[in-house]
Amino acid sequence: MEFSEERLGILKKLINDPLKQKDTIAVMSDTDAVTSMRLEKDGGITLRFDLGREILVEGLYNETGELHITQKGERASISLETQTMDNEELNELDFSQYGILDGENIVSLQEMGAKMIERFVNSNGGFAGFVMTTDNGQIIADNLFNIYTLSFINKNRTLEMDV
């Protein structure tokens, strides 16, 4: 496909549309892939792609790669970091920015009325899930999901681009 500003605009619109983003990225998945990584002296990581470009990233994160879209059109993905947090850290989370899977939708802890969250462990001390206490009792969930609202992205991430 030849490059044009019009095609770039169409692609940008598709990637920024939460309902079409997943399909758009899937279609493009074979266009460029990471072929190598290099740890720089300053701690950054340079990624080299098969088409020759390189980008410098501050760090790599171990996430599941699954992307969910909430009924509000927000993006959500499993938060692996919460599985290792203690109860105090869990209760310091912004309950509007984390949620659980309810059927096929992600519902924020705030929306479900969570007052407290606890890490649930099995008999040998391994992570087993989360217990949320609400006014109506307790809810158990396997995972917590980051809900990527604009305020969450601005609070937790900075995006920089070399021009």
**pLDDT tens digits, residue range 52-95?**
888 888 655 545 556 677 777 788 888 888 988 999 999 999 99
pLDDT at 56: 85
Q: How many CB atoms lie within 10 A of CB 128?
A: 15
Q: Which two tokens stand for residue 108?
A: 């924020």
* Better-scored residue on pLDDT, 57 or 130: 130
pLDDT at 26: 73
Question: Per-residue pLDDT tens for 138-147?
Answer: 999 999 998 8
* Better-scored residue on pLDDT, 52 or 117: 117
pLDDT at 99: 93
The residues near 107 (Cβ < 8 Å, ≥ 6 apart) are 70, 99, 100
Which pTM value belongs to this model? Answer: 0.54
Closest CA to 75 of 16, 13, 159: 16
The two most distant CA atoms of the chain are separated, in Å, by 59
The residues near 140 (Cβ < 8 Å, ≥ 6 apart) are 120, 129, 130, 131, 132
Q: Would the CA dihedral through 137, 98, 149, 104 be positive or negative? A: negative
**Residue 2 — pLDDT band, cuts 50, 70, 90?**
low
Name the 3-class secondary structure at 154: helix
Query: Cβ distance 147 to 79 under 8 Å?
Result: no
The residues near 58 (Cβ < 8 Å, ≥ 6 apart) are 43, 44, 45
